[in-house]
Amino acid sequence: MKRKAALAALEELPADGVIGIGSGSTARLFIAALGELVKAGRRYVCVPTSEASRVQARDLGIELLPDDGPWDIAVTVDGADEVSEDLDLIKGGGGAHTREKIVNYSSRRNVIIVDASKCSRRLGEAWSVPVEVGLRREVRERQHLARHGAAALRLRDGRPVRTDAGNLIYDVACGPIAAAAALDTALRAIPGVVETGLFVGRADVVLVAGANGVERRTR
């Protein structure tokens, strides 16, 4: 299903230009397919959203722009952990949501590729909200985050997960979210919070792969 969504995203690309490339398992399949297009002669230059995406694209011979921009991105193709009926998103399962949001905001169009299991009526029904926090205020941030839901420090093999920037991630179990934009604003207002995984109004097209093919949803 993920491969179907990734391949469908190729139809959303211009003939050439600057492309934002996302992070995660579905995005990896898209980057692999994009590499085949570049190998066949298509001229794309990309902006990666994570170090993992950078390494994959570089190994495929895809030209990359510098990290600090400025960029004029025609289309960004990325995955999501949860998609609401309103096409709002939760991202950050891979810990790259801050960079993903920067690239998303620098793109003229944003195409999200998911399988049907990622779709919910409201955000928060199936996924916690990832929140990237600075290291030095970690204890106080946890206390403030807990006002919005159970806040769990993300661990891997018993050790805190670090983002590409070296920060920590809390997964905040908010439950079904009635007002995603308001929650995003409240979380980002906490001193020491770097960014949240809430992407409100930031998907132009969502490609949902299911048993009967790929459904194209637009805002």
- By annotation, the residues acting in catalysis are 100
Lateral strand order in the sheet of 198-199 = 82-83, 89-90, 198-199
Count Cα atoms within 13 angstroms, Cβ side, for 67.
Answer: 8
Neighbours of 25 (CB within 10 A): 12
Chain centre to alpha carbon of residue 130: 11
Q: Rounded distance, CA 153 to CA 168, Å?
A: 8
**Measured CA distances, 197 to 113, 170, 205 (Å):** 16, 10, 18
And the tokens for 72? 């004029």
Residue 199 β-bridge partners: 89
**Residue 214: which region, alpha, beta or left (left: phi > 0; alpha: psi -120 to 50)?**
beta
Residues in the chain: 219
